[in-house]
Amino acid sequence: MERLIQDGRIHPSRIEELVAQTKKDVNHKVLQLGKGAAVEANIRGLSNKVLSLLGALSFRTSYGQNVLRHSIEVAFLTQVMADELGLDGSIARRAGLLHDIGKAIDHEVEGSHPEIGANYLKRFNESPVILNAVAGHHGDVPAENPYTPLVAAADAISASRPGARRETLERYIKRLEKLEELASGFKGVENAYAIQAGREIRVIVNAEKVDDESAMKIAR
């Protein structure tokens, strides 16, 4: 619309021309975004079609979290855990980066995004390990390799990182109340206050009921 208004020639043939040009520009943009994500995650061997879907995730959000940035985070988190377990970090990164690729086309294809993503990647000869990690990161299919639960864990870590996703005021308040309730459940605790968006719990205890050793246990 902006291009049409700036151009001033608003008639059918010009509209078709600009629509075609805009589609071409968008396709180029998503491909470049996908290539950039693959370079950042140090992943090679992805076809342009897969890279384009990956780039399209930059225009998709989940509770306010950019899905492409989330996928890159998951790639590195999965690698860190895989390295600790003596697994192949490059496989872990690849599985993490591609785990949500089905979200790029879940509005076009019927099914859950893990299923859609795995089916799509199968067409490009991704390994069974990657396919299972993509299909099973929400527990929709049984894990057949150690990378699948690692991707699921990394996905949860990235999504639950403070500030990563937008949450409603009601959910936010309930979460703080739950934290305070848990802290208040310890013997000798008189009051508990969740502060700094729930990252810290301030606890007030009855000094006559809680000695120093018990206070240390509560603090942990």
Asked if residues 102 and 114 have their Cβ atoms less than 8 Å apart, the reply is yes
Q: Give the end-to-end CA distance of the chain in Å, rounded to a whole number.
A: 58
Among 120, 141, 160, which residue terminates a domain? 160
In tens, the pLDDT along 6-64 reads: 766 776 777 777 778 878 988 999 999 999 999 999 999 999 999 999 999 999 988 77
Phi, psi of 65 (to 5 degrees): -90, 130
Same domain, 140 and 213: no
| Total number of domains constituting the chain | 2
Same domain, 137 and 174: no
- CATH number for 15: 1.10.3210
141-161 per-residue burial string, b: 16 or more CB within 10 A, e: under 16: bebebbbbebbbebbebbeee
How far apart are alpha carbons 40 and 26 in whole angstroms? Answer: 21
Among 160, 192, 208, which residue terminates a domain? 160
How far apart are alpha carbons 99 and 137 in whole angstroms? Answer: 7
Same domain, 87 and 149: yes
Same domain, 108 and 195: no
Same domain, 116 and 83: yes
Q: What is the pTM of this model?
A: 0.70
Among 110, 133, 160, which residue terminates a domain? 160
Same domain, 90 and 125: yes
Domain range for 122 is 2-160
Same domain, 181 and 104: no
In tens, the pLDDT along 74-115 reads: 999 999 999 999 999 999 999 999 999 999 998 888 999 999
Same domain, 139 and 175: no
Same domain, 57 and 108: yes
Same domain, 132 and 186: no
- Mean pLDDT score across all residues of the chain: 88
Same domain, 94 and 150: yes
The most distant pair of C-alpha atoms in the chain lies apart, rounded to whole Å, by 85
Same domain, 211 and 105: no
Q: Rounded to the nearest 10 degrees, what angle do helices 147-160 and 89-98 cross at?
A: 60
Phi, psi of 201 (to 5 degrees): -115, 125
In tens, the pLDDT along 50-83 reads: 999 999 999 998 877 899 999 999 999 999 999 9
